[in-house]
Every structure is written in structure tokens, then in C-alpha cells.
Homo-oligomer: A and B are copies of this chain.
Amino acid sequence: MEIKPIAYIHTDFCEKFGIPRQSGRVPDLIGEIVFTPEFNNPEAIRGLEEFSHVWLIFGFSEAEYKEGTMTVRPPRLGGNTRMGVFASRSPYRPNSLGLSCVKIEKIEQGKITVSGVDILDKTPIYDIKPYIPYSDSIPNALGSFAEEMKCHSLEVNFPQELLQIIPEEKQKAVIGCLRDDPRPTYQEDDREYSMAFSEFDIHFTVENKKLTVISIDKKSNG
């Protein structure tokens, strides 16, 4: 089956590193869904204002699936445990389809602003569906290892003189991403990590579950 984008989403993530593992993890992260000319039509979203959340079915455009791969190694399991690709939400999967639930913040002509995103900048969106709590919300579902990880977070030490480099309206989102622990695994080491966010590269270290921002570069092409 051939599918084509109905919209693209614009976010502050131009690299995979630092993107929250699941949607909703960092409520302050904003994305803008911009419809393609074909669907830039107020009729296509008529009534959407009566819902608070939507599902996005999108393409993991940067994650190339290697045919025949049946398992993935979730970073949050240390990177060594193999799980079936259909027992994981990994981007490296057959058909490369992603699924995220985001909150509607604002609906404008040809554009929907959403929050709680976990999607790379310029990702193609193939479908938008309203979130229907009576069928979609199953609070007592069993979530396996993913559920056990939900409480993991870091203490963030972000010196004021560095924080003020980030525009005020984006500070909460950046801190939220750092608190969520952007490192590929939870292993302790003294490496310096770098997270690209909007036009910035944010450098940090982690020790004893405490993350310290050490410097920020502004990208020249930002």
C-alpha cells in the first residue's frame, strides 16, 4: 500500500538524541503540525476543537529498518537485552510507522500546535485521529519494562548564566528533556554528552543521577 504525508511536524529536535522515549513525557515540548496544500482546508479538521488529544501516525523517516531484523535492543534495558520488534516501540521497525499521542494546544488555519511531542523535526505525518478515552485509555494495562522505567529521572543542575541563553519560552522544555535523561543508556560514566535542541547544542555530564549543564553552543546555521 502506498501512503503519502498529509502534514509535517516541526519540533525543536533536529537530531534523535534527547527526544523523549514516549509522547507526553515532557509536556512543555511543543510541535507544529503543518498540513500539506492538499489538506490545508479547515473542513478536514472540523470539530477537532472538541477533543483534547490526538494520535499521530507518522514515519520514522530517519530510522532505516534493515530487512529481516526481528529484534531490537531497547536503550533503557541497558542496550544488551533483545526484545521482539513488535514488543517494542522502537523506530527501527517494519513499515517504519510511529504512533504518538499529543495534546492539542491551538488550532489555526492549516496548522495545529500540539504539546508533549517525541518526534523529530520535519517528520511526515500520515494520519491524525482524535483520542477517544473510552476506547483508548486503559489505565490498568500491563506495560512491562517500559512501565518500570517511567519513574526514572535525573536531578538537573542548570546554572542560571547558561539557562538564560535559551529563550524563556523554551527553558521548561529543555529542562524537561534533560530531566528525562537523554543518554542512550543509564550507565554511569564521566563522558560529556551533547543534546541538540532548537538552535543550541547543550553539553552536560551526569554523576549519581545528577545532570550538570557545562556549556551551550549556538549553532551557526541555527
Binding site for B on A (CB under 8 A): 1-4, 6, 22-25, 39, 41-48, 50-55, 57, 59, 70-71, 82-89, 93-97, 99, 101, 124, 126-147, 150
Contact = CB atoms under 8 A, between A and B. Distances in A.
Given A97-B57, A126-B95, A142 B84 contact: no
Contacts of A48: 84, 86-87
- Per DSSP, chain A at the interface is mixed
The listed residue with most B CB atoms (<10 A of its CB), out of A83, A126, A135, A139, is A135
A24 B140 CA distance: 14
A25 B83 CA distance: 30
A132 B127 CA distance: 20
A63 to B, nearest CB: 13
A85 B132 contact: no
Copies per assembly? 2
B47 A6 contact: no
A124 B83 CA distance: 23
A89 B129 contact: yes
B99 A46 contact: no
Nearest to A126: B95
9 contacts: A3-B97, A4-B94, A24-B138, A89-B132, A101-B135, A130-B143, A133-B142, A134-B150, A136-B138
Contacts of A46: 70-71, 82-84, 87
B132 A22 contact: yes
B53 A84 contact: no
Given A50-B87, A86-B48, A94 B39 contact: yes
Given A46-B83, A101-B138, 7 more contacts: A1-B2, A101-B135, A131-B138, A132-B146, A133-B138, A134-B147, A136-B141
